[in-house]
Amino acid sequence: MPARPLVAGVDTSTQSCKVVVCDAETGEVLRVGRGSHPDATEVDPRHWWSAWESATSEGLLDGVAAIAVGGQQHGMVLLDDADDVVRPALLWNDTRSAGAAVDLVRELGGPQAWADAVGIVPLAAITAAKLRWVRDHEPAAMARAARCVLPHDWLTGRILAAGGGFTEWTTDAGDASGTGYFDAGTRQYRPELLELAAGRTLGVPRVAGPAEVVGRTRDGLAVAPGTGDNMGAALGLGLQQGDCVVSLGTSGTAFARHDRPTADARGFVQSFADAQDRFLPLVCTLNAARVLTSGASMLGVDLAGLDALAMAADPGAGGLTLVPFLDGERTPNLPTATGSIHGLTRTNATPENLARAVVEGMLLGLASAVDAVREAGCPVERVLLIGGAAASRAVRGIAPDLLGVQVAVPAPGEYVAGGAARQAAWALSGASTAPGWDVAVETTLDPVAPGRGAEVRERYAEVLRTGYPS
């Protein structure tokens, strides 16, 4: 019996490059590789290539028939006429472009004008704002630039070039819809917005179909267009209507599938395309898993110790509220904000309450994000909790009450890389729809009754109304 085809998916994230090799028919993960990225907000893309080479060493891709890349959204990679990198890539979490975002919003006529044009109101994270920052602060670099691609586009093109199969730069609608100059509703670029941002005309990647083969290497490896990390995770999870993903990684995200684009003039909900043929309204926060590591460091414990302390405290942390804006914040748009602790008294000043406030604070930011997704028209009947912090015992214990809905924790896995692999299998098959891969759920958690989640959420909202921004 002939062997079943193998496919590979890549997650080129902020922190690392992860590669999974899967059975194309079942999605079973057969091999995994990993390489590290620098911990920075701007990175020379050559580091991404080194991490890719490390992740795929020792024959990881032997027998693989197709591959796709999922990657961190919004990153700005400027290339010159020879496709050499002009300057280090500015990543989504580089907040220097906050002022540039304000300028862009004003110049087009305000937040509603942007929401109507592309479904996104520029923030520091968005590619358009980064282009404007380079235009204003590094004009020589902008003058050298011939085109702008995204991190996943760059790695896709580099894989093809190394394999002798590069013909053009490509992207997909999902990742392109996070740039600020691509309309998810029409699946078209808005060149006038790109020129507004960059101050000149720049080339952009061709937007490929969701299951298109955009190139083949000399040894026959088919390369699919890839997508953004959140779109990849949605594809990897087989996201269904009624589900909302809450991802707790370097950033926090909440997103759901929708049948139409959205337009939120507040800028909370980004109107993205998904990696198939629909839409992915999404809210992103800057502060997620690293809030827990910072809290553990502050208390002098490891993450398991933080869990134990948090679970020993009562819900509400005795009145302590942590505002988790440790790296500024994207939603709400407070790029220069800092974290703070409110309600501290001599009575509640215990390690247990502080640990509980750390976990609750991180989750409260995401609870607000889930509310915004619901307000955008997506029913939320269940939250799928993924990302590194989803493994926390305290997060699992506290999340259902704060989110107010059933929480399902899928089995640990690389869902961005898995979604990219699923796209590769789709491209390889030539089918009209993505293959159906089962996703195992490790545990399902229901809100406690009567619970105190609503009380804790109201106190957090009151702190934001009266004690922030700073």
d(CA 1, CA 459): 63
Confirm if 369 and 283 have CB atoms less than 8 A apart: yes
Distance between CA 125 and CA 287 in Å, rounded? 13
65 vs 388: CA distance, rounded Å: 30
Element housing 408 (H / E): strand 406-410
> Which is the catalytic residue, given 153, 229, 274, 327?
229
Asked if 230 and 280 touch (Cβ cutoff 8 Å), the reply is: yes
Angle between helix 351-375 and helix 453-467 axes, rounded to 10 deg: 90
80 touches 144 (CB < 8 A): yes
d(Cα 444, Cα 399) in Å, to the nearest integer?
11
φ, ψ dihedrals at 308, nearest 5°: -60, -45
Nearest to 259 by CA among 141, 378, 100: 378
Structure tokens belonging to residue 393: 């015992």
Q: Residues near 300 by Cβ (< 8 Å), separated by ≥ 6? A: none
Helical residues (DSSP H) of 34-179, grouped into ranges:
46-55, 98-108, 111-118, 127-137, 139-144, 151-162, 173-176
Of 405, 368, 129, nearest in space to 254 by CA: 368
CA angle 159–162–164, rounded 5-degree value: 105
Q: Does the annotation mark 229 as catalytic? A: yes
Strand positions, DSSP E, 182-259: 182-183, 188-189, 206-208, 215-216, 222-223, 227-228, 242-248, 252-255
Report the C-alpha gap between 74 and 191 in whole angstroms.
17
Closest by CA position to 224, among listed 18, 452, 422: 422
Helix (H, G, I), strand (E, B), or coil: what is residue 426?
helix
Q: What token pair was written down for 230?
A: 């959140």
Catalytic residue ranges: 229
